[in-house]
Amino acid sequence: MKKTIAVLLMLIFTLSASISFAGDDMVDQAYHYYNKGMMTEAIEAMKEASADDPTPGQLYFIGYAYYKLQNFKDARKYFEMSYEINADYDPMANRPMK
């Protein structure tokens, strides 16, 4: 019984770690697309990365990519979603060093 529980716990840990790393890979991919000027792809990658538990930074990133596409309606929507999670969010304080 103890072995079964240990195996299940290891399986759960492994799966959750894999999902977490996959999300990080999608964030990296989103920044890659953004830096290449591929805003639509950047938006889709970040939406995938943030699907389960979006952070203010991820939502702001999506909003800014929409802004760069001059889609101001969707940009505003994502900026507002970002600030709904954290009204004190400062995008300049959370910029990645890329």
pLDDT tens per residue across span 11-70: 454 444 334 445 689 999 999 999 999 999 999 999 999 999 999 999 999 999 999 999
Query: Residue 91: which pLDDT band, with cuts at 50, 70 and 90?
Result: confident
The gap between the terminal CA atoms of the chain, to the nearest Å, is 48
Note the pLDDT of residue 20: 43
- Name the superfamily (CATH) of residues 25-94: Tetratricopeptide repeat domain (1.25.40.10)
Model-wide pTM > 0.75: no
Q: Three-state DSSP class for 54?
A: coil
Please say whether the beta carbons of 60 and 89 come within 8 A.
yes
Query: Which one is predicted more confidently, 16 or 84?
Result: 84
Instruction: Report CA-CA distances (Å) from 14 to 48, 54, 55, 74, 89.
Output: 20, 22, 23, 36, 32
